[in-house]
Structures are given as structure tokens and as C-alpha cells.
């Protein structure tokens, strides 16, 4: 395959950008010509940001799996689509060619149908990083069911909330998952999530860990049995369901500044075009390269840059079940060496954690296959950037710092590897079609200033790109108020940013009450709600603080009725409660018991002060004159952990 829309020089980038702004419909229509459509569109784009209503390639029919699988079969059906590396290095790896993957996807699509799944039904997928996770996800897309993948680190309660919100009727899970030295009992978690659930009809269980599990008659079936049944019927292929370009492809839940996670909805056509376009251009993918994205498929990064982007480009995508430090901190480098990985896409938190082990784990590992390095999820500090550049890329590999969000579906700001300039800790330039603006608190556009090198503001976008979210599932008004109402006619990202004279962007972090812990997004309100559910907790306030490895750590101030003198145990109890309500990923790093929280006379918690104290600032806490009880601040300062 060749990609006529691959940008190969800085000049060509500038030209593509210009065209994409001057005539977006012609630009994206041109890119979209390179895909398999069952029917072409009537109109490339219709939109307004007030409702919001965004429609790309309206009237077109397609199935994303035909673009990810079928269209590659003739030219390279025997090329590897997926390489799977297990958690333990001594276990056998697996390889699925495009032909094999298509066959498995069709067969599992048939399994879903046999179990009653129909087009438009919501299927929740809660699995470890096994090849069957890719198969299950693509099989949903094949038959037009809407997948909702939930990351394995979420608790039963979180799953129950998501199942309810999506009105899901089916679940695909595993008995358990291996992650480093741990063994996570996925099916048990699902069983807990299903207590009191009335929508789920079938649970399909894939074996991985052989952990003992209960299988309920009539509800639970084995993945392997179901597949065998389909194989015995001789089914190796099913037709791909024709989908409208605007039909939902998937729901992915993400945290916001309010208590309840939102089900971000992506649509088939635009998402396909944009994830493919960005994969090919940002990473400068060349045919037959091996791409290793270390994210979990349970996050948007895995959806877009393990599955849909690379597969639609015909790449070899590496799925790694384990963690970077198991059995030792050389695991990533062993994998790069073993499979001759060409593109490595990981998170700053992983780089920082591996830096901590020194250069020993890199010794004797042949990393010369690497051509492009990428980072995503949080701002990358310069120290980590240089370490990645020097010791992993050996100064031979461009590093792409890719900024985007669950809601954006694909990368929006990034340098193009080796094509446009890189600048440590700057995401740099917007991709073609992406019209960023900075606004001040009042919503006025921030323009470049004579005599100053950078300007700063809240990061917004004034025009739709093909993979923008279409709605939040079941609640369109929530989508509007969350993203499109802060500033009229703009999509608000929730991030702050600086812009240089050259037009480069540097993301400074969230400006709302959302934390970024190890590249995972966690709403402070969600953590507070979970803490407040613990008996004895009167109230709490959660803020972020700088953390060497995680980027941000979670600091909780808790007003507790009576700890019975054992604060250590009470802390553990609170952590247990958070694990139970949200999952281990939301556990506070620090819990400080306080007798009260700093509040204004109207009862609003002054988080600014709490944030400063958590950051270690004791002197300049800003204006405290509006506080109801200024004394509480001194007490909190004295008790800081
Ligand atoms: C938030 C989105 C999209 C992939 C994974 C996270 C932060 C993401 C960068 C980057 C600085 C970044 C932002 C954004 N973020 N990439 N390259 N530089 N910050 O997806 O969970 O939806 O979180 O992650 O704050 O808003 P997400």
C-alpha cells in the first residue's frame, strides 16, 4: 500500500495545512477517497458547535473492519497483523496474520450473533491484553455492535455504573489477567458488577489464567466453546455490516470534572479516516514496519494506535500483555530487540520510571531497528525527553510528542516524525485540519504579542476534525455543557497551553479539576465521592501535586469523625473504599486528616490553597481574606505529609 496523503516535507505540511483550512471539505474528501466505502458520501461535512451537531461523510456506508482487514488480504494476507507478547517472557508468543485475524474476527462476529447480539447493541469488553481482546473489539465493529472497552483496573462498582449508563446487554471478559507479578480476577469482578444488574443477557468468558470462576447457567458461556461451534459449522467469513458513516463505532468512558464518567461516542467514518491519517503522518509509517504502542486497549490510545490506526494502514501492531518492569526493567528493550520494533509509542510516566533503573537494563539490547519514538498522555519533562532521545533513540530517532484526548479520537497536535521540527516538551504544531485557538478567561482570543516570545491561554478548537466526539452516550446535553458551552462556538479541551511565535504549542496541563496520574485521567470529584462513601468521613477535598514518576499524585484532605486513634489503619480503610468504588488506579498517594477545609463564606472549598499546600508551598498562598476560618489553613500547613 502507498499513501498519497503521506506528508514528506515541512513544505508539504505547510501546504496541506493551508489547504485543510481553506477548503476542509475538499481536503478530507480527498483523504477519504483512499478507503473502502460501500457507498460514497453525499456531503463531507455538516456542523455547528451550538447543539453540537457534527456529521462527517454523511450518507456514506462503510465498515471499518473491511478497511482494517479485508482490503489488506490480497496484497499481504500472510503479513503479521498482530504480534502478541505475553506477560511472562518464557511463555510462547503468538502471531496473527491479516488472513488469520480476519477469520477470527468473522468467527467471533458469528459467535456474538449466535448469542443474540444485534447491530447497535452495546457490548462491554473487560479483558486483559490478549489477542482475543483485539478479536472481540473488531468483531463488534464487524457486526455493527457498539463496543465499550473497560480498562482492567476499574472496580466492579465502576463497571456496574458503565453497564447501566450504556444499557449494555452483553459482556466479553476473561477468567483473569496476568499483569506483572499480579493475577487479576476479571470474571469475579464482573460477577460482582452484575449483582442487581437487569440488562446483561450473556457473558462470554475467554480463558487465560485458569483461575477458578463461577459460570452461571444460561448467562455465562465459554469463548472457546462458542468459537469451536462456529468452526465446526465451517464458518470462516461473514459479511461486514454496512454502517452509516455517522453510526456509533464505540463508547469509551472518561472522567471529567463532575462526579460521573462520561461515555464518549465516536462515529465509524470520521474516526476511521482520522486515525489512519494521523498514524501514517505522525509516525511516518512505512509499509511492513512493526509498531509497538505500549498503552492498554482499554484507553483511547490503544483503540486508535494499537487497533484502528495501524491495522487500517496494514501495519504490524504489537500487543504486550505485561508491564515495563516485569520481570525486570529491560522488558521493553527486550521486546524491541526480539521483534525489531520500528516505532515505539509510550507514556512519559513509563520513561521516567525506567530512567530510575539507570542504563543497566539497556545494555546488550539491540535497539537499532527503532526509527521513530513517540510519547502521549501528559506533558513530557525535558529530562525524560533527552533520556529517551539519547539512550533509546541513540539520537537517531525523531521523537513525536502527541497531544490529544479521548474526545478527540486521534492526535491533534504533534510534530511529524523527521518532517516537522521537534522541540523538547513542546507538542509543536497542529495537524492538518486542526484549528487551535487560545482564549483568556472571558473567552477572548489570545493573539501573538509584539515583543513576547510566547502567549498563554485556555486551549480551544474552532473547527471540527473528522474524529471529534459526536455526543456523550445517552445525554447529549452533557456533551454540550461539558465541551461546547464554556466558550461559544468553540470546543474547549480543558487544557491550558502556551504558543510560541512559530505557532508551536506547549501543553501546560489541565485547567479544570481533572488530574493526570501516570497518563490516566481522574476527576477529583470522583475520588472525593468515593472517599466520602467511607463511613466516618465527613467531607474531603482532593487535589493533585507534582510526582516524580506519575506526573501528578493524588493528595486527599479528609475530615474524619473519629479515627479511634489509629490513623494508619483508617488511611488503609479509605484506600480500600476508593479501590472498591473506582479501582486501584484512583487511590490517593497521600491522605491528610484535617479538622476542617478552607472555605469561603458561601461554603466553597478553596482548592487553590489546598493545591499550593500539597505542592509544598507554605508562604505565598495568595488571598486568604475571603476565608471563613483562616485558622484552618495554619493547621493544614502544620499537618502536611
Ligand atoms: C489529557 C487527555 C490521548 C491519549 C491519552 C490520554 C493530557 C495527553 C498530552 C501531551 C501534554 C497531554 C492532556 C489531555 N495529554 N497528551 N502530549 N502533552 N498533555 O487521554 O485520558 O483523554 O487525557 O491528557 O491534559 O487533556 P485522556
101-244 matches 10-63+268-510 in CATH topology: yes
Q: Please report, for the chain, the start and end positions of each structural domain, with discontinuous segments joined by +.
A: 10-63+268-510, 101-244, 516-638
The CATH architecture that domain 10-63+268-510 belongs to is 3-Layer(aba) Sandwich (3.40)
Residue 507 Cβ < 6 Å to ligand 1: yes
Residue 494: CB within 6 Å of ligand 1? yes
- Phi then psi for 309, rounded to 5 degrees? -65, -60
Tens of pLDDT along 445-504? 999 999 899 999 999 999 999 999 999 999 999 999 999 999 999 999 999 999 999 999
User: Ligand 1: distance of its center to the CA of 378 in Å?
Assistant: 5
Angle (CA) 225-227-233 rounded to 5° is 105
Residue among 422, 521, 523 whose CB has most ligand 1 atoms within 8 A, to mutate: 521
**What's the rounded Cα separation, in Å, for the pair 351 and 424?**
14
State which ligand 1 atom lies nearest to the alpha carbon of 301: 4
Residue of 516, 517, 551 with the most ligand 1 atoms within 8 Å of its CB, for mutation:
516
Residue 192 three-state SS: helix
Ligand 1 centroid – CA 459 distance (Å): 12
What pLDDT, on the 0 to 100 scale, is given for residue 256?
A: 84
The verdict on the CB of residue 301 being under 6 Å from ligand 1 is: yes
Is the shortest distance between the CB of 378 and ligand 1 below 6 Å? yes
- Is the CB of residue 402 below 6 angstroms from any atom belonging to ligand 1? yes
Residues whose CB is less than 8 angstroms from the CB of residue 402 and which lie 6 or more positions away in sequence, other chains included: 282, 345, 374, 375, 376, 411, 413, 414, 427
CB-ligand 1 contact for 495 (6 Å cutoff): yes
CATH match for 516-638 among 3.40.50.2300, 3.30.360.10, 3.90.550.10, 3.30.300.30: 3.30.300.30
Q: Cβ(609) to ligand 1 under 6 A?
A: no
Q: How far is the CA of 299 from the centre of ligand 1 (A)?
A: 11
Domain 101-244 has CATH 3.40.50.980: yes
Contacts of 505 (CB under 8 A, 6+ apart): 403, 413, 426, 427, 428, 429, 430, 436, 459, 497, 498, 499
CA of 253 to the centre of ligand 1 (A): 15
Is there a contact between 348 and 379 (Cβ–Cβ < 8 Å)? yes
Task: Work out which ligand 1 atom sits closest to the CA atom of 295.
Answer: 5
Determine the pLDDT at residue 626: 79
61 CB near ligand 1 (under 6 Å): no
Give the model's pLDDT for residue 411: 99
Alpha carbon distance 359, 55 (integer Å): 50
| Segments of the chain scoring below 50 in pLDDT | none
Residues contacting residue 544 through CB under 8 Å, at least 6 positions apart: 515, 516, 517, 524, 552, 553, 554, 555, 611, 614
296 ligand 1 Cβ < 6 A: no
- Give distance in angstroms: CA of 518 to centre of ligand 1: 11
Helical H runs in 205-312?
223-232, 268-282, 300-302, 309-312
| Nearest Cα residue to atom 27 of ligand 1 | 405
Q: Report which protein residue has its CA nearest ligand 1's atom 21.
A: 521
Q: Does the beta carbon of 524 lie inside 6 Å of ligand 1? A: no
- The CB density around residue 91, as the number of other CB atoms within 10 Å, is 11
CB contact at 8 A, 272 and 308: yes
Point out the ligand 1 atom lying closest to the alpha carbon of residue 414.
Answer: 17
Ligand 1 pocket, residue 427 CB under 6 Å: yes
C-alpha 452/C-alpha 529 separation (Å) is: 43
What is the maximum alpha-carbon separation in the chain?
Answer: 76
Closest protein CA for atom 18 of ligand 1:
379
Predicted pLDDT at 1: 56
**pLDDT on residue 563:** 65
The distance from CA 388 to its chain's CA centroid, rounded to whole angstroms, is 22
Q: Is 109 near ligand 1, meaning CB less than 6 Å away?
A: no
CA contacts within 13 A on the Cβ side of 324:
22
pLDDT given at position 57: 98
- Kind of pairing, strands 290-293 and 316-320? parallel
Return the number of other C-beta atoms located less than 10 Å from residue 309's C-beta.
29
The CA 510 to ligand 1 mean position distance, Å, reads 9
Q: Which residue puts its alpha carbon closest to atom 8 of ligand 1? A: 377
Grid cell for residue 536:
466516618
Distance CA 425, CA 384 (A): 9
Q: Is 254 in the pocket of ligand 1 (CB under 6 A)?
A: yes
**What pTM value is reported for the model?**
0.97
Sheet holding 491-500, edge to edge: 436-439, 454-461, 491-500, 505-510
Q: Is residue 374 a contact partner of residue 402, using CB atoms and an 8 Å limit?
A: yes
Q: Which sign does the torsion angle of CA 221, 225, 230, 233 carry?
A: negative
Tell me the three cell numbers of residue 595: 479538622
403 C-beta closer than 6 A to ligand 1:
yes
Q: Phi/psi at 638 (nearest 5 deg)?
A: -65, -35
The phi, psi pair for 85, rounded to 5°, reads -110, 120
Measured in angstroms, how far is the CA atom of residue 545 from the centroid of ligand 1? 17
* 584 grid coordinates: 486501584
* Measured distance CA(120)–CA(54) in Å, rounded: 20
Burial category of 477 from C-beta neighbours within 10 Å (exposed 0-12, middle 13-18, buried 19 and up):
exposed
Going by CA atoms, what residue is nearest to atom 13 of ligand 1?
Answer: 378
Please tell me the distance between residue 513's alpha carbon and the centre of ligand 1 in angstroms: 14
Amino acid at each position: 500500500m502507498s499513501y498519497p496523503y503521506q506528508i514528506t516535507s515541512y513544505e508539504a505540511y505547510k501546504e496541506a495545512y493551508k489547504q485543510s483550512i481553506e477548503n476542509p471539505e475538499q481536503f478530507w474528501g480527498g483523504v477519504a477517497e483512499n478507503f473502502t466505502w460501500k457507498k460514497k458520501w453525499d456531503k463531507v461535512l455538516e456542523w455547528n458547535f451550538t447543539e453540537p451537531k457534527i456529521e462527517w461523510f454523511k450518507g456514506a456506508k462503510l465498515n471499518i473492519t473491511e478497511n482494517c482487514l479485508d482490503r489488506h488480504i490480497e496484497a499481504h494476507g500472510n503479513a503479521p497483523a498482530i504480534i502478541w507478547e505475553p506477560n511472562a517472557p518464557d511463555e510462547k508468543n503468538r502471531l496473527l496474520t491479516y488472513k488469520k485475524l480476519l477469520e477470527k474476527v468473522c468467527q467471533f462476529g458469528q459467535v456474538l450473533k449466535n448469542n443474540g447480539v444485534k447491530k447497535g447493541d452495546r457490548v462491554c469488553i473487560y479483558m486483559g491484553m490478549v489477542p482475543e481482546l483485539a478479536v472481540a473489539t473488531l468483531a463488534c465493529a464487524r457486526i455493527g455492535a457498539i463496543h465499550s472497552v473497560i480498562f482492567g483496573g476499574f472496580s466492579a462498582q465502576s463497571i456496574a455504573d458503565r453497564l447501566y449508563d450504556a444499557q449494555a446487554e452483553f459482556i466479553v471478559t476473561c477468567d483473569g489477567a496476568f499483569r506483572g507479578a499480579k493475577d487479576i480476577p476479571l470474571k469475579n469482578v464482573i460477577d460482582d458488577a452484575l449483582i442487581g444488574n437487569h440488562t446483561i443477557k450473556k457473558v462470554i468468558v475467554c480463558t487465560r489464567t485458569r483461575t477458578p470462576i463461577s459460570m452461571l447457567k444460561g448467562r455465562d458461556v465459554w469463548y472457546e466453546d462458542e468459537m469451536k461451534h462456529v468452526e465446526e459449522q465451517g464458518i470462516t467469513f461473514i459479511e461486514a455490516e454496512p454502517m452509516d458513516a455517522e453510526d456509533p463505532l464505540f463508547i469509551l468512558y472518561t472522567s471529567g470534572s463532575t462526579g460521573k464518567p462520561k461515555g464518549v461516542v465516536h462515529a465509524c467514518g470520521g474516526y476511521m479516516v482520522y486515525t489512519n491519517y494521523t498514524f501514517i503522518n505522525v509516525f511516518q509509517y512505512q509499509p511492513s514496519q512493526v509498531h509497538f504502542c505500549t498503552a492498554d486497549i482499554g484507553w483511547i490510545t490503544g483503540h486508535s494506535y494499537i487497533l484502528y490506526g495501524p491495522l487500517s494502514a496494514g501495519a504490524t501492531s504489537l500487543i504486550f500483555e505485561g508491564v515495563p518492569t516485569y520481570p525486570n526493567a529491560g522488558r521493553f528493550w527486550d521486546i524491541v530487540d526480539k521483534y525489531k520494533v520500528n516505532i515505539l509509542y509510550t507514556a512519559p510516566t513509563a520513561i521516567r520510571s525506567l530512567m530510575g533503573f539507570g542504563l543497566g537494563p539497556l545494555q546488550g539490547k539491540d535497539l537499532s531497528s527503532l526509527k521513530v519514538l513517540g510519547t502521549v498522555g501528559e506533558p513530557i519533562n525535558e529530562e525524560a525527553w533527552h533520556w529517551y532521545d539519547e539512550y533509546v533513540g541513540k539520537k537517531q530517532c525523531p521523537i513525536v510528542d502527541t497531544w490529544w484526548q479521548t474526545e478527540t479520537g486521534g492526535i491533534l497536535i504533534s510534530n511529524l516524525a523527521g518532517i516537522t521540527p521537534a522541540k523538547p516538551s513542546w507538542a509543536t504544531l497542529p495537524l492538518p485540519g486542526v484549528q487551535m485557538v487560545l482564549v483568556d478567561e472571558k473567552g477572548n482570543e489570545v493573539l501573538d504579542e509584539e515583543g513576547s516570545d510566547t502567549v498563554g491561554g485556555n486551549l480551544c478548537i474552532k473547527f471540527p476534525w473528522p474524529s471529534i466526539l459526536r455526543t456523550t452516550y445517552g445525554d447529549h446535553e452533557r456533551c454540550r455543557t461539558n465541551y461546547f458551552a464554556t466558550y461559544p462556538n468553540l470546543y474547549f479541551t480543558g487544557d491550558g497551553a502556551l504558543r510560541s511565535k512559530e505557532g508551536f504549542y506547549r501543553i501546560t496541563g489541565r485547567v479544570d479539576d481533572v488530574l493526570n496520574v501516570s497518563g490516566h485521567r481522574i476527576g477529583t470529584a470522583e475520588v472525593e465521592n468515593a472517599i466520602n462513601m467511607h463511613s466516618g468521613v465527613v467531607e474531603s477535598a482532593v487535589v493533585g501535586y507534582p510526582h516524580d514518576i506519575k506526573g501528578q499524585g493524588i493528595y486527599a484532605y479528609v475530615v474524619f469523625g473519629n479515627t479511634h486513634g489509629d490513623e494508619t489503619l483508617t488511611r488503609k480503610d479509605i484506600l480500600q473504599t476508593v479501590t472498591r468504588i473506582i479501582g486501584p488506579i484512583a487511590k490517593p498517594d497521600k491522605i491528610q486528616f484535617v479538622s476542617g477545609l478552607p472555605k469561603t463564606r458561601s461554603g466553597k472549598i478553596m482548592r487553590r490553597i489546598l493545591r499550593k499546600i500539597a505542592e509544598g508551598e507554605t508562604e505565598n498562598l495568595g488571598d486568604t481574606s475571603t476565608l471563613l476560618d483562616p485558622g484552618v489553613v495554619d493547621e493544614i500547613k502544620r499537618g502536611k505529609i
